[in-house]
């Protein structure tokens, strides 16, 4: 049996017990690229600080912090390695986490990248592979992946779970920020008047025949508040409830987003009538549902989006082609020349024949999709640079 640490997890390996020569292979740089790397060792922050001042470049890249046992405890990215690393030593202005990271650090290592986009991708790649302690601390509680589901017969409703059973009527995700997913699920159940009671609560539809009539009372206040159809008390038919389930499914699949328009109009009407408390409540509902709608739209685009090329000039004045497919970076090559034309053609041909992705993206894929989407949201003008696969192949033929 492999030994475990005091918290029950497997101990992190001693990745670089001797000389640091880089973090290893990467999907996010051209195969022929050899990144510049460096390391600084020191028993005190003062020694490390002098090393950063003397050697850290003003270039984009990723960096790592190692403790006295040569264990990688943190990975970060930077548009400017020198500026970012120096910030760890500014006691009066750094955030508390930076102080906790630098305190046990005995080795600083870094690996340069061709541009800031590559640094972002490389950081995510290393965190997913190596899971340094300070990168993953606190993540399971807030950012763990989970799914929005529609199910649990005989009266399906929207709920959040980390492990779908496969028996659900529909599954959407994975997502992060559990508390926001739960808020959205609650708002959707209220809006479409679906139950959210435990499975132990007996349900009875109005059109469900029985030998003797029985007087049933709603099991919670949601029926009285008009946020549930009341299947526990026989206040709706099976068909009426099923109609609401189909409606929420249409929203979750992006086929009917009218709930957003209606909530927005109701919020404006309440504000115009000086019903500010009601307007704020409607705003909160709209915010929760909009957040889920945006995330699900992003995942749908990632699954259905075709291949594109994102050309980006690096700080080394070399043009790189990032091959994007379904919201993820599949490969990185230098812009085609006579020397690498065959290799680029092979990568483009492989991308063009890649079958559609699964209905549910993997957790690693979701992180990648969110990173790429965030980049193009931050730098909107960069979208104009995107080349279709056909255009890229045309440029390849002209080399």
Write the DSSP symbol of residue 355. Answer: P
Which of 268, 301, 334 is where one domain is finished? 301
Q: How confident is the model at residue 14 (pLDDT cuts 50, 70, 90)?
A: low
Find the range with the poorest average confidence among 66-70, 140-144, 155-159, 196-200.
Answer: 140-144
Q: How confident is the model at residue 215 (pLDDT cuts 50, 70, 90)?
A: low
Q: Are residues 169 and 113 in the same domain?
A: no
> Beta strands 146-151 and 157-161: pairing type?
antiparallel
> Beta strands 107-112 and 319-325: pairing type?
unpaired
Q: Are residues 123 and 232 in the same domain?
A: no
Number of domains, the chain: 3
Q: Are residues 130 and 261 in the same domain?
A: no
pLDDT given at position 319: 97
Rounded to a whole number of angstroms, the CA Rg of the chain reads 27
Which of 267, 301, 335 is where one domain is finished? 301
CATH number of 103's domain: 3.40.1440.10
Q: Are residues 233 and 380 in the same domain?
A: no
Q: Are residues 335 and 289 in the same domain?
A: no
Residues in CB range of 380: below 8 A, 6 or more apart? none
Q: Are residues 93 and 191 in the same domain?
A: no
Residue-wise pLDDT for 261-310, tens only, equals: 999 999 999 999 999 999 999 999 999 999 999 999 988 887 777 789 99
pLDDT given at position 6: 34
Q: Is the dihedral of CA 110, 111, 114, 120 positive or negative?
A: negative
Q: Which two tokens stand for residue 321?
A: 């082609």
- Average pLDDT of the chain to the nearest whole number: 88
Question: Is 339 part of any domain?
Answer: yes
Q: Are residues 323 and 289 in the same domain?
A: no
Reference 324, options 312, 340, 316, 338; nearest CA is 312
Residues in CB range of 329: below 8 A, 6 or more apart? 27, 28, 121, 322, 323, 368, 372
Q: What is the DSSP string of 299-321?
A: HHHHHH--EEEEEEE-TTS-EEE
Q: Are residues 175 and 293 in the same domain?
A: yes
Q: Are residues 188 and 282 in the same domain?
A: yes
Higher pLDDT, residue 290 or 374: 290
Write the DSSP symbol of residue 10. Answer: P
Domain of residue 125, residue span: 37-137
Q: Are residues 81 and 216 in the same domain?
A: no
- ∠ CA 54-56-62, nearest 5°, is 160
pLDDT given at position 334: 96
Rounded to 5 degrees, φ, ψ at 366 are -60, -45
Q: Which two tokens stand for residue 283?
A: 């705003």
Residue-wise pLDDT for 63-113, tens only, equals: 999 999 999 999 999 999 999 999 999 988 888 889 999 999 999 999 999
Q: Are residues 280 and 170 in the same domain?
A: yes
Residue 381 has pLDDT above 90, yes or no: yes
Question: Is 32 part of any domain?
Answer: no
Rounded to 5 degrees, φ, ψ at 205 are -85, 155
- ∠ CA 182-216-229, nearest 5°, is 40
Looking at residues 207-222, what average pLDDT do you find?
A: 70
Strands (E), 81-161: 107-112, 146-151, 157-161
Question: Is 26 part of any domain?
Answer: no
> Beta strands 61-66 and 146-151: pairing type?
unpaired
Assign 77 to helix, strand or coil: strand
Q: How confident is the model at residue 357 (pLDDT cuts 50, 70, 90)?
A: low
**How buried is residue 364: exposed, middle or buried, by Cβ count under 10 Å (0-12/13-18/19+)?**
middle
Question: Is 268 part of any domain?
Answer: yes
Q: How confident is the model at residue 7 (pLDDT cuts 50, 70, 90)?
A: very low
Distance (Å, rounded) from C-alpha 53 to C-alpha 207?
78
Question: Is 28 part of any domain?
Answer: no
Residue-wise pLDDT for 299-330, tens only, equals: 888 777 778 999 999 999 999 999 998 888 99
Looking at residues 117-130, what average pLDDT do you find?
A: 94
Rounded to 5 degrees, φ, ψ at 98 are -60, -40
Q: How confident is the model at residue 248 (pLDDT cuts 50, 70, 90)?
A: very high
Residue 22 has pLDDT above 60, yes or no: yes
Residue 132 has pLDDT above 70, yes or no: yes
Q: Are residues 158 and 279 in the same domain?
A: yes
Provide the percentage of residues in the chain whose pLDDT is more than 70: 91
Distance (Å, rounded) from C-alpha 131 to C-alpha 11?
11
Question: Is 181 part of any domain?
Answer: yes
Which of 244, 267, 301 is where one domain is finished? 301
Q: What's the predicted TM-score (pTM) here?
A: 0.77
Residue-wise pLDDT for 137-154, tens only, equals: 544 444 568 999 999 989
Q: Are 132 and 121 in contact (CB under 8 A)?
A: no
Question: Is 385 part of any domain?
Answer: yes
Question: Is 316 part of any domain?
Answer: yes
Q: What is the DSSP string of 205-232?
A: -TT---SS------SSTTTTTTSS--GG
């Amino acid at each position: 049996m492999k030994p475990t640490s005091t918290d029950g997890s497997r101990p992190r390996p001693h990745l670089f017990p001797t000389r640091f020569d880089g973090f290893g292979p990467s999907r996010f740089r051209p195969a022929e690229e050899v990144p510049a790397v460096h390391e600084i060792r020191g028993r005190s922050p003062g020694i490390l600080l002098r090393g950063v001042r003397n050697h850290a470049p003003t270039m984009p890249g990723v960096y790592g912090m190692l403790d006295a046992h040569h264990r990688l405890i943190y990975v970060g990215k930077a548009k400017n390695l020198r500026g970012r690393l120096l910030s760890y030593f500014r006691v009066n202005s750094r955030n508390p986490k930076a102080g906790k990271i630098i305190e046990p650090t005995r080795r600083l290592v870094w690996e340069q990248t061709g541009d800031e986009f590559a640094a972002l991708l490389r950081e995510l790649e290393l965190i997913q592979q190596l899971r340094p302690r300070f990168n993953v601390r606190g993540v399971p509680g807030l950012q763990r992946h989970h799914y929005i589901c529609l199910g649990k017969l005989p009266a399906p409703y929207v709920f959040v779970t980390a492990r779908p059973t496969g028996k659900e009527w529909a599954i959407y995700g994975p997502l992060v920020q559990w508390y926001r997913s739960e808020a959205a699920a609650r708002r959707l159940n209220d809006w479409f008047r679906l139950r959210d009671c435990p499975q132990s609560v007996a349900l009875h539809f109005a059109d469900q025949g029985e030998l003797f009539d029985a007087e049933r009372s709603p099991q919670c206040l949601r029926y009285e508040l008009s946020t549930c159809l009341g299947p526990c008390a026989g206040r709706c038919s099976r068909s009426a409830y099923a109609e609401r389930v189909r409606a929420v499914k249409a929203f979750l699949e992006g086929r009917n987003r009218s709930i957003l328009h209606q909530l927005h109009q109701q919020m404006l009407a309440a504000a115009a009538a000086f019903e500010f408390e009601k307007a704020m409540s409607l705003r909160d509902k709209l915010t929760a549902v909009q957040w889920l709608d945006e995330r699900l739209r992003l995942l749908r685009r990632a699954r259905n989006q075709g291949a594109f090329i994102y050309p980006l000039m690096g700080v080394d004045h070399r043009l790189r082609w990032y091959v994007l497919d379904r919201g993820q970076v599949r490969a990185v090559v230098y812009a085609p020349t006579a020397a690498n034309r065959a290799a680029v053609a092979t990568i483009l041909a492989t991308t063009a024949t890649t079958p559609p992705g699964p209905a549910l993206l993997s957790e690693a894929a979701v992180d990648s999709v969110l990173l790429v989407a965030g980049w193009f949201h931050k730098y909107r003008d960069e979208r104009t640079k995107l080349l279709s696969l056909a255009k890229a192949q045309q440029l390849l033929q002209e080399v």
